């Protein structure tokens, strides 16, 4: 009588847990799809801002500034003002 061995649910192939790897890949794929959707939504908001007369380039600069520490921004602005005065701008 020959016995058939069934593979466990978390199959290891070449020392790799295939089910775990598949799970990780599928999670990344889902997040990439969400990111793509969010990128589209953000683009729509920028288009809305532009159609309302706002300068999108300036809005992007403001968003970058808001992500930084206030002290860092202040130090950079102070240095920029000094450089401008030195160049007569």
- How far apart CA 21 and CA 69 sit, in angstroms, is 38
The answer for residues whose C-beta is within 8 angstroms of residue 11's C-beta and 6 or more apart is: 17, 18, 19
Contact (CB, 8 A) for 42 and 32: no
Contact (CB, 8 A) for 19 and 11: yes
Bridge partners (DSSP) listed for residue 13 = 16
The pTM assigned to this predicted structure is: 0.65
pLDDT tens series, the chain, 89 aa:
555 555 555 567 777 889 999 999 999 999 999 999 999 999 999 999 999 999 999 999 999 999 999 999 999 999 999 999 999 99
């Amino acid at each position: 009588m020959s016995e058939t061995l069934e593979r466990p649910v978390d199959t290891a192939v070449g020392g790799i847990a295939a089910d775990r790897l598949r799970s990780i890949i599928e999670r990344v794929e889902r997040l990439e799809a969400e990111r793509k959707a969010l990128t589209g939504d953000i683009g729509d908001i920028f288009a809305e801002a532009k159609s309302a007369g706002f300068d999108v380039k300036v809005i992007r600069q403001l968003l970058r500034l808001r992500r930084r520490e206030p002290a860092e921004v202040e130090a950079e602005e102070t240095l920029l003002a000094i450089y401008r005065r030195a160049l007569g701008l």
